[in-house]
Amino acid sequence: MSFQLSDEQRAVRDVVREFGENEIRPVAREHDEEKKYPHELVQKAATYDLVAPGIPEEYGGAGMDMLTEAVVTEELWRADAGIGSAIGSRGFGTSMIRKFGDEWMREEWLPKVAAGDAATCSCISEPAHGSNVAGIETRAERDGDDYVLNGTKMWITNGTVADVAVVMAKTSPDAGHRGITAFLVPTDADGFSATKIDNKLGIRASDLAEVVLDDVRVPAENVIGAVDEGFYQLMNFFADGRTSVAAQAVGVAQAAVDAAAEYANEREQGGQKIAEYQAIRHKIADMATDVEAARSLVYRAATHVENGDDDTAARFASMAKLFASERAVEVADEGIQVHGGAGFVTDHPAERFYRDARITKIYEGTSEIQKNIIADRVL
């Protein structure tokens, strides 16, 4: 198995890197401090095919494979995790529409998302049910030709900026994971409301909300896929999502290495650059090695996801997410250490990398859940 990127993938990486360096990085601190959603940058990113790059070409997307998508994610997060998250999650939930939605759903929403003109969100988690998706309480009850949805969704990325939501709701409440259905819910539907959560530790440019569904009525044709099959449909994308989060972790960790190396080559103590002290050299060597190891796992997971070997993809995606996210937080922590006191304040981005990296251990399944998944496949 080769981890060599193709010429095309390297070209995509170079375009995203240039976009990140020229457009994203200069405004990263401002967006973090002001918790500002990057509307204009999302539009610009769309012109480079960086918004939901996996959307097929026939629906106006770039049709990138999973490995190329991972490279895009990594570079966006290397430039800035918060803005990278806003761009990268713009089409969150579109995988469900792509794979299980009816043709009218694909035609209506995918071109708009790819063009940067619409955002989607994926409403799975609830205040009382995060890791245990099967426990969700949001209900969808059939009423004539419609379904009526009631419930509260928590920690919803894009909640206040999305135009349409993919909502997981119980259609057979006593059937556990066998009673969940996916619904396409326009966010301007009566009874749909979103309240922004803006006291986040990191990725502050990205939108997060609590979503309430209060007697939201949608036609039965808005069922995505099959009734009561939503949980199984969702399982199809966890490997993709986890590989993406692992790529996010690699991106922010690489940014921490870059910043630490740059600072070490500038900062002098005791009459020499701190980069000449073995303690600092070894720290940076360890950081760089961790990032490369994580990147290798991400590429491997992406390749398995692309090849469609579900069980192997699930195992590698969980391993990649676990390893990359845990290492990213450690690498960002060491990045602060290399900066000394300067790493503890917002004058340098080192502290932001640390705050931003932290989310990768939590969403798309916590590190503990990844270990459960890996153990199930090893034991």
Ligand X SMILES: Cc1cc2nc3c(=O)[nH]c(=O)nc-3n(C[C@H](O)[C@H](O)[C@H](O)COP(=O)(O)OP(=O)(O)OC[C@H]3O[C@@H](n4cnc5c(N)ncnc54)[C@H](O)[C@@H]3O)c2cc1C
What residues between 60 and 79 interact with ligand X by CB under 6 A? none
Please identify, among the stretches 63-71, 111-119, 125-133, 275-283, the one whose residues bind ligand X according to the rule CB under 6 A: 125-133
In whole angstroms, the minimum distance from the beta carbon of 6 to ligand X comes to 31
H or E segment and range at residue 200:
none
Rounded-to-integer distance, Cα 252 and Cα 246, Å: 10
> Using the rule CB under 6 A, is 363 a contact of ligand X?
yes
In whole angstroms, the minimum distance from the beta carbon of 282 to ligand X comes to 31
Tokens of 257: 């290495």
Chain centre to alpha carbon of residue 202 = 13
Identify the bridge partners of residue 218 per DSSP, sorted by sequence position: 147
> Using the rule CB under 6 A, is 92 a contact of ligand X?
yes
Please identify, among the stretches 137-145, 232-240, 253-261, 366-374, the one whose residues bind ligand X according to the rule CB under 6 A: 366-374
The structure tokens 């209060």 sit at 214
Binding characters for ligand X, 283-322, by CB under 6 A (x = yes): ----------------------------------------
Among 18, 34, 364, 368, which one carries the catalytic annotation?
364
Residues near 255 by beta carbon (within 8 Å), at least 6 away in sequence: 77, 78, 79, 80, 81, 349, 353
Please identify, among the stretches 136-144, 182-190, 253-261, 357-365, the one whose residues bind ligand X according to the rule CB under 6 A: 357-365
In whole angstroms, the minimum distance from the beta carbon of 57 to ligand X comes to 26
Q: Of 83, 124, 301, 305, which lies in the binding site for ligand X, with binding defined by CB under 6 A?
A: 124
Q: Of 66, 76, 87, 156, which lies in the binding site for ligand X, with binding defined by CB under 6 A?
A: 156
In whole angstroms, the minimum distance from the beta carbon of 8 to ligand X comes to 30
Rounded-to-integer distance, Cα 190 and Cα 186, Å: 9
Please identify, among the stretches 122-130, 143-151, 264-272, 295-303, the one whose residues bind ligand X according to the rule CB under 6 A: 122-130
Size of the site for ligand X (CB under 6 A): 20
Rounded-to-integer distance, Cα 67 and Cα 45, Å: 19
What residues between 179 and 198 interact with ligand X by CB under 6 A? none
Q: Of 108, 286, 372, 374, which lies in the binding site for ligand X, with binding defined by CB under 6 A?
A: 372
* 364 catalytically annotated: yes
> Using the rule CB under 6 A, is 362 a contact of ligand X?
yes
Asked whether 138 and 170 are in contact (CB, 8 A), the reply is yes
> Using the rule CB under 6 A, is 130 a contact of ligand X?
yes
Please identify, among the stretches 7-15, 152-160, 284-292, 307-315, the one whose residues bind ligand X according to the rule CB under 6 A: 152-160
**Long-range residue pairs from 170-178, CB within 8 A, at least 24 positions apart, any chain:** 170/136, 170/137, 170/138, 170/139, 170/140, 171/140, 171/142, 171/147, 171/227, 171/228, 172/228, 173/139, 175/228, 176/134, 176/135, 177/133, 177/134, 177/231, 178/228, 178/231
Start-to-end CA distance of the chain, whole Å, equals 25
Residues near 167 by beta carbon (within 8 Å), at least 6 away in sequence: 123, 138, 149, 153, 182, 183, 185, 213
The structure tokens 């890791």 sit at 131
What residues between 198 and 227 interact with ligand X by CB under 6 A? 208
In whole angstroms, the minimum distance from the beta carbon of 238 to ligand X comes to 11
At residue 251, the 3 state secondary structure works out as helix
Closest-by-Cβ residue to ligand X is 130
> Using the rule CB under 6 A, is 152 a contact of ligand X?
no
Alpha-carbon dihedral angle through residues 261, 267, 272, 277, given to the nearest 10 degrees: -40
Q: Of 6, 22, 47, 131, which lies in the binding site for ligand X, with binding defined by CB under 6 A?
A: 131
Instruction: List, by residue number, the catalytic residues.
Output: 364
- Applying CB under 6 A, which residues contact ligand X? 92, 121-125, 130-131, 155-157, 208, 359, 362-363, 365-366, 368-369, 372
